[in-house]
Amino acid sequence: MTFQDIFKSDFLSNVTSVSIVDMLIAILLSFCIGVFIFFVYKKTYKGVMYSSSFGVTLIALTMISSLVILAVTSNVVLSLGMVGALSIVRFRTAIKDPLDIAFLFWAIAVGIVLAAGMIPLAVFGSVAIGVVLLIFVNKKTHDNPYLLVAKCANEAAESSLLKKIGERVSKSAIKSKTITDSGIELNYEVRLKDANTEFVSNMAKLDGVENVVLVAYNGDYLG
């Protein structure tokens, strides 16, 4: 093969540049592992609104990555053009959960590794990653944090509220305190001693306490 042959552009010669067997194996395996990634994502999802389209995207990314790498490895000219084409692509969708980034890179990496012919690495690597995610993401924690939001009319009501909080929670840390003409608004991160939340109703009945709200807290409510 000469230097001119490398950069020769012949459409018909590219038809057999990748064998049918290689294409079928890459597409089939990328689909199967993509479905496995989708399954792990569905089992480990901890957000509020589950997006089925993101799971389908993971399958598509795995297959698309395999097709791109198969094409790039079979033609030098195409690889140069692919670099230029991908350099102008801009993704505008915001990734809210850091774990979603891991799934995106996982899908892309598996597609690349499969198309490169490293099938055992792609299969066993995906199984290992899936097991790790299933174990650690689904690990139950008994010390779940909550966010307690309360509005008090004065400092006396605030003192009574804090006393009740100390009696019913194992840990508490103030996140913010806002003082206005209408009263005092408190935001506390609390960790309950048990699953009983009856104390929230009791605190709302205290003199000077206007309202009390208890919500699950993951660190994203206050910025």
Given a contact cutoff of 8 angstroms between Cβ atoms, the answer to whether 33 and 122 are in contact is yes
pTM, to two decimals: 0.62
Each residue's pLDDT, cut to its tens digit, for the chain (223 residues) gives: 555 555 555 555 555 566 788 888 889 999 999 999 999 998 888 766 677 888 888 999 899 888 888 877 766 555 555 655 555 556 566 667 778 888 989 998 998 888 888 889 999 999 999 999 988 887 655 566 788 888 888 888 888 888 888 877 878 888 888 888 888 888 888 887 777 777 788 788 888 888 888 887 654 444 3
Q: Scanning the structure block, which residue is given the tokens 């779940």?
A: 144
Backbone angles phi, psi at 152, to 5 degrees: -115, 150
Please give the pLDDT value at position 127.
93
Please give the pLDDT value at position 220.
47
DSSP structure class, residue 49: S
Given a contact cutoff of 8 angstroms between Cβ atoms, the answer to whether 201 and 214 are in contact is no
Please give the pLDDT value at position 221.
41
Given a contact cutoff of 8 angstroms between Cβ atoms, the answer to whether 108 and 61 are in contact is yes
From the DSSP assignment, how many helices (H) and strands (E) are in the chain? 8, 4
Please give the pLDDT value at position 32.
93
Domains of the chain: 3-88+95-137 (no CATH), 145-216 (3.30.70.260)
Q: What is the C-alpha separation between 144 and 190, in angstroms, rounded?
A: 9
Q: Scanning the structure block, which residue is given the tokens 């919500």?
A: 215
